[in-house]
Amino acid sequence: MGSPPAGSCDDKRQAALGSNGKLNCMTTRTPTLGYIGLGKMGSPMVMRLLSAGLPVHVWARNPDRLGPMLQAGATASSSPRDLAENAEIIFTCLSDTAAVEEVVLGPEGISAAQRSRGILVDMSTVSPDATIRMAAELKSRCGREWMDAPVSGGTTGAQAGTLTIMVGGSSANLGRVRPFLDHLGKRITLMGDIGSGQTTKLINQTIVACTMMVLAEALGLAKRTGLDVAALPAALAGGRADSTMLQHLWPRMVENDFAPTGTIQSMVKDLKLVQSLGQAVHAAMPITAIVAELHQWLMANGFADEDLTSAYRIFRPIGNERT
């Protein structure tokens, strides 16, 4: 058998991209990965990593969520600390800042592990200031680096590997984790130092929440005028009112489809972070304040677990609901 051609590797499991962006063969190994947070976003991301043949250790507060991952080849860990002992690169995708802090800095958290190298990639949407603080504490305790890498694209994007990933951290660390992020997202952008990814995600959520509410309001208006509301996305395509949300979420509102790909409850949490950030930098955000109140109303009236398309419930004409 001849030698492998130049620029290739004879063992794909020993091939990895180095921090210089070049393919290293036989002198590198595939790092063991860890994933904590097996919810609606985390679970499909884990499955994509496993489908790529990557070694993944997993942990979840609810052990019932482990089954599909274990069947697909993941290794169960008894705690975040146990997972960190075995995983060089750890991904987290958790519900809020408090959950991230407990998993990372708690008594049985990642920082309690003896492993003194590796990277934590936090894909949750949490406070930028808390991210900076937790990153410093993690490095002080065990030497592990931090990258914030929140995502946009919903469960559909997580399943398809087409997420938009907003990164805060060093370019060197991004070089180390990018081969794995490439399985999860189609657009990966380094926005600056630690915390920059979270700040970018909050700007994203400001745009998403306000746009969603305006689309719902416009649909309510269009419905009352007697227009063919289903025809509007095609009619407006290519114009200044066009957007991905118009093309994909307007039709769902027309059909009263509120099945969650993201939830009102999650957006309420994110808008609180947005408003805290705005207050910290003295930004005027009156539109966001109104949109946040409307989301609070939806949550208070029993729609917390519905999709953002549930905004249309506020504006749809009485008597036009589908049964």
Query: Is 201 an annotated catalytic residue?
Result: yes
CA-based end-to-end distance of the chain: 67
HSE toward the beta carbon, residue 255, CA cutoff 13 A: 7
State how far the Cα of 153 lies from the Cα of 103, in Å rounded to an integer.
Answer: 24
Rounded Cα distance between 148 and 202, Å, is 13
Count the neighbouring beta carbons within 10 Å of the beta carbon of residue 78: 9
φ and ψ at residue 75, rounded to 5 degrees: -110, 130
Catalytic residue among 12, 22, 201, 272: 201
Cβ atoms < 10 Å from Cβ of 74: 24
Structural tokens at position 314 = 């506020």
b/e 286-318 (16+ beta carbons within 10 angstroms → b):
eebeebbebbeebbeeebbebbbbbbbbbbbee
Spatial contact of 83 and 57, defined as CB atoms under 8 Å apart: yes
Which residues lie closer than 8 Å to 28 by C-beta, 6 or more apart?
Answer: 14, 15, 16, 18
Residue 253 and residue 309 in contact, taking contact as beta carbons nearer than 8 Å: yes
Point out the residues that are catalytic.
Answer: 201
